[in-house]
Amino acid sequence: MFRRNKILVKKKTYVKKFRQERYKNKVMTKINFTVNNNNHQVEVEDSLRLIDVLRDHLGLTGTKEGCGVGECGACTVIMDGAAICSCLVLAGQLNGTQIETIENIEKDQVLSKLQQLFLEHGAVQCGFCTPGMLMSTKALLDVNPHPSEDEVKEALEGNLCRCTGYIPILNAIKAAAQ
Ligand code: FES
Ligand code: FES
């Protein structure tokens, strides 16, 4: 028993030292930014991506990670009014920015009109692409409430969906744009 305790203490000390070493080598950055109209100050590794800061540091797990390399659009959020891939933005670029995530779309547990229309038109199946689709759509409708079909297609060209065949998504957005 005594021996086991000794080993445990050794192990804990080793882990603590290992963590301290890792922490020492990290470049940390302080970010002061706004997420969903709330100010946040966090200190994180500057090599972290926006999606990591949102999910792991702010608990906003509605933003999904698909490819991690800017190809699928699953991680789309709105940054300073534009739809961007949160897997491509580094923490060091976030100071002073305004971010909007999928968590800001629903209000008081009531779905937004856009979310409701996605449901009504069968534009949500597995749902993995949906937060990104909604954020790209919102970024478009915020500046252009009545887009043409071509404008919708252009705005969503970076968002992939493996389930719906896109037509239900287009129909939902057309209904929202009427
Ligand atoms: S996870 Fe960011 S674009 Fe695919
Ligand atoms: S609903 Fe499954 S990927 Fe779009």
Tell whether 100 is covered by a domain.
Answer: yes
Domain boundary among 104, 139, 160: 104
Q: What are phi and psi of 140, to 5 degrees?
A: -70, -50
Tokens coding 143: 């500046």
**Within this chain, do residues 38 and 70 fall inside the same structural domain, yes or no?**
yes
Quickly state the pLDDT bin for 3 (edges 50, 70, 90). Answer: low
Tell whether 60 is covered by a domain.
Answer: yes
**Within this chain, do residues 32 and 95 fall inside the same structural domain, yes or no?**
yes
In whole angstroms, give the CA distance from residue 138 to residue 85.
Answer: 14
Residue 146 structural domain: 113-176
The Å distance, Cα 5 to ligand 1 centre, comes to 46
Task: Identify the three-state secondary structure at position 79.
Answer: strand
Q: Structural domain tally of the chain?
A: 2
Spatial CB neighbours of 160, under 8 Å, sequence gap ≥ 6: 66, 71, 72, 73, 74, 129
**Within this chain, do residues 137 and 72 fall inside the same structural domain, yes or no?**
no
Tell whether 149 is covered by a domain.
Answer: yes
User: Cβ < 6 Å from ligand 1: which residues?
Assistant: 65-68, 70-75, 85, 87
Residue bearing the bigger pLDDT, 17 or 136: 136
Domain boundary among 57, 84, 104: 104
Ligand whose nearest atom lies closest to the CA of 123: 2
Task: Identify the three-state secondary structure at position 13.
Answer: helix
Note the pLDDT tens digit of each residue in 126-151. Answer: 999 999 999 999 999 999 999 999 99
Lowest mean pLDDT segment, chosen from 5-19, 82-96, 155-169: 5-19
Note the pLDDT tens digit of each residue in 55-100. Answer: 999 999 999 999 999 999 999 999 999 999 999 999 999 999 999 9
Question: Which atom of ligand 1 is nearest to 64's Cα?
Answer: 1
Tell whether 135 is covered by a domain.
Answer: yes
Q: What are phi and psi of 157, to 5 degrees?
A: -65, -20
Q: Which residue's CA lies nearest to atom 4 of ligand 2?
A: 161
Tell whether 42 is covered by a domain.
Answer: yes
The Å distance, Cα 167 to ligand 2 centre, comes to 12
Mutate which of 137, 161, 166, 173 for ligand 2? The one with the most ligand atoms within 8 Å of its CB, which is 161
Residues in the chain: 178
Residue bearing the bigger pLDDT, 22 or 178: 178
Mean pLDDT of 102-113: 90
Note the pLDDT tens digit of each residue in 39-55. Answer: 999 999 988 999 999 99
Ligand 2 contacts CB of residue 129 (under 6 A): yes
Spatial CB neighbours of 139, under 8 Å, sequence gap ≥ 6: 78, 81, 82, 83, 155
**Within this chain, do residues 79 and 100 fall inside the same structural domain, yes or no?**
yes
Tell whether 14 is covered by a domain.
Answer: no
